Every structure is written in C-alpha cells, then in structure tokens.
Structure 1
Amino acid sequence: MQQGQRGFTLIEIAIVLVVIGLLLGGILKGQELITQGKIRGIEKELDGVSVAMLAYQDRYKALPGDDLNAKARWTDAENGDGDGEIDGAFNSATATDESRRLWHHLRRAGLIGGDTASPEQPVNPVGGRTGIQARLSDGTNTLIEGPVACTTNLPAKIANAIDAQQDDAKPDAGNVRGFGQSAANTPDFTTAVTAYADDGSKLYTLCKRV
C-alpha cells in the first residue's frame, strides 16, 4: 500500500519564513548602504568643488573659467573675460561658456581629477551632472548670490538627505535649494518646490553656494 506524501510541518514553514525574512532584510540593508554611499559621494563632490574653486582663486587670483590669463599658463586653454563672474549655465553644453571652461581650468591646475583636456562637467554618483554658475535665480529674484554649484538627477530620498545634512531640509529656503526637473539634467528654476516627493519617479537638482 503506497503512503501519501508528507506535508511541511509548522517548524519547517517557520524556518523557511525566517530565511526569507533574513534574505529580504539583507537586500534592503544593502540597498540602504548603496544609497548612503551615493549621498556621501555627492556631498564629497560638492565639497571638493568648493575647495578646488578656493584653491584656484588663492593660487591665480582669478575665478576658474573667468580667468583672463589662463592661456598664458596652458596653451590649450581659453581665457575668460575677467569680469569676476562665471558666465553660462551650470549645465551648459556650449564650449565657449565660462561655466564649461571652468572645468578645463581646474583640471589643468591639477585641482580636480579627470581628462585635463576636457571641459565636461563631472558626473555625480547617480549619473547626473555637477556644474557651477554665477548665481541662482528664479528668473525674477536672486535666490543665492554665487558662485553656486548645482548637481542633477537626484532621487527625492537623496536630495532630502543632503539638504537635511547640509542645511534645513527645505527645498525652497536656506543655503541649499532644491528644484524639480523637466528633463534629465534640466532643472526648472522658475517653479518653487516645497517638499521632496519620494514617489519613485521624480528627480531633483540641488544648488548651494560654493
């Protein structure tokens, strides 16, 4: 006579559930560690840009990008106009903008890493761009007198954490400002954001004074 198959006992089911719980907990913990690493990487990049800007000014008595004598130092560099402001948007793709030449000057001076012949803005840990411009404005009012550094494509969780750690966690106030994006690397500076909406889809740009 053939015996029927034995079912799982409550103990076996409990063990399986515990194992699944441990695996899920480990995955979630790993994701949190990855997110925290990205937060620290972005903060380190912003702080590094500030240090590099100050070091360049201390060494050459000029703003990188705006430097009127850059070509005298490096033959492949282009001079700025020397008016004391960095012309062009932080995310500019125009080679003649000072906000692009700035990165070439900093790399030529050995103050940041990367290809010394390149004017490309650095890529942040979430695949966005980090750049610098003269000031932050909503089109009518100056929000932060510059220079300001902006970094793009930040998920709400990361933008909120950086704003909280470096300022007040309020995107529309303080020394760190947050803005929604109309497209990748393209912030909408004209529309105020009052909270970082963590809906899994919205991306933000953060800007702070250098």
Structure 2
Amino acid sequence: MPPLLSRQYGFTLVEIAIVLVIIGLLLGGVLKGQSLIDSAKIKNIIQQANALSAAVNAYQDRFRALPGDDALATSHVPGATGNGNGDGQITEYQLAPQHLALAGFITGSYNGSTDFMTSAQGGAVYIYNEVVAGRGGNGLRFDNLPDSFAEQIDSKLDDGKFDTGSVRATGNYTNNGTTITRTALFF
C-alpha cells in the first residue's frame, strides 16, 4: 500500500483578509463610539455651565447678591450654613452651591464645607472668583478636563484660544491627552 499523504490545512489569503476587515470595522466602531461618548460629555459640561450661569443670574436677580458672597444668605435661604462678605467677589466658593440649591436654582444638597459639584468628566466644578490665564473675576471653574475637552468647550462658547476671551485655561490646548488643571468660564 502506498503511504497516505497527509494534507496540511491552513487559512487562505481571502479568509485572512476577511478577518482583518472585520477587525478593522470593529476597531472603527469602538473609536467612533468613544468619540460619541466624549462629544456627549462635552455637551453635558456646556449645558451644566449654562445652567449654573443662569442659576447665578437668577439668584442675583432675586436677592441682589451673588451666591456664596451673599451677606444675608442665612435669612434669604433658610438652612444656609454661612453668609458671604458681600464684596461682589465669590471667594466663598464652598457656600455658593449651597445657596443656589437651598434657593431652588440647582438640584443637589451641598453642606457648605466639603461637598462639591462635579462635571460629566468627573472633575470638580466651582462657582468662584479666580485668576486664570491673565483674567480674573467671577465665573465657573471646571477642574481636570482633558485638553481636547477644554478646547472644544472654549471653541463652542468663546474663541478657541486658551488665553483670550471669556473662557480661559491654565495650559495650551495640545490635543495630546494632557489634563488642563483649570478651565474657567467667566461671567
């Protein structure tokens, strides 16, 4: 009897090409999905900024004072743990969200000492008087945003430059994955 020839089986080039195309489509879908998630977070941060700005303006219209800085906050909003000094600068950043929440302008419960608002990205959010990139004043501060997020927020709300306009950042937008320590949106 002649010896049986064993036949080796493997993948053809067509099969390998099909697998590579499928892997490419999956990776493309994952990257596009991540892009959509990031875009949603940026929109959420912008909506939060607009809502907080409106809340500060409404508080100021109702009580003729800024939240946090309100010298009569304990009488304006029962339950407030402290008053501001009334100097027009929101340096009392821990009291600002408490005053807004107790007045019914934002949701949440803030104790006036250790509870902070957070952004969709997870960093702290303050209503604060601050100097960022050469500009000072009252505004909103978003901490620890990816530089691509900060740049897109700046582009959508202002001029897209980190050191000019009403949106300022503590660092240049490099789009290399660095974190911007502070991004301020001045009123």
- Measured against the shorter chain, the TM-score band is 0.7 to 0.9
Matched, 1:177 2:163: no
Instruction: Give SS of 2:145's match.
Output: strand
Matched, 1:110 2:104: yes
Question: Which residue pairs with 1:158 in the alignment?
Answer: 149
The amino acid across from 2:177 in the alignment is G
- TM-score, structure 1 normalization: 0.79
Q: Give structure 1 stretches of 5+ with no counterpart.
A: 88-97, 181-194
Q: Does the CA contact (< 8 Å) of 1:99 and 1:132 recur in 2?
A: yes
The number of residue pairs the alignment matches comes to 182
Q: CA deviation at 1:127?
A: 1.7
Instruction: Give SS of 2:142's match.
Output: strand
Distance across 1 between alignment mates of 2:173 and 2:145: 10
Q: Does the CA contact (< 8 Å) of 1:64 and 1:102 recur in 2?
A: yes
Go from structure 1 to structure 2 and tell me whether the alpha carbon gap of 1:105 and 1:9 turns closer, same or farther (over 3 Å shift).
same
Go from structure 1 to structure 2 and tell me whether the alpha carbon gap of 1:27 and 1:101 turns closer, same or farther (over 3 Å shift).
same
The amino acid across from 1:154 in the alignment is L
Distance across 1 between alignment mates of 2:13 and 2:120: 46
What's the C-alpha RMSD, in Å, of the aligned pairs?
1.9
Q: Give structure 2 stretches of 5+ with no counterpart.
A: none
Larger Rg: 1 or 2?
A: 2
User: Which of 9, 13, 17 pairs up with 2:12?
Assistant: 9
Q: CA deviation at 1:137?
A: 5.5
- TM-score, structure 2 normalization: 0.88
Instruction: Give SS of 1:20's match.
Output: helix
Q: CA deviation at 1:116?
A: 4.9
Q: Does the CA contact (< 8 Å) of 1:108 and 1:117 recur in 2?
A: no
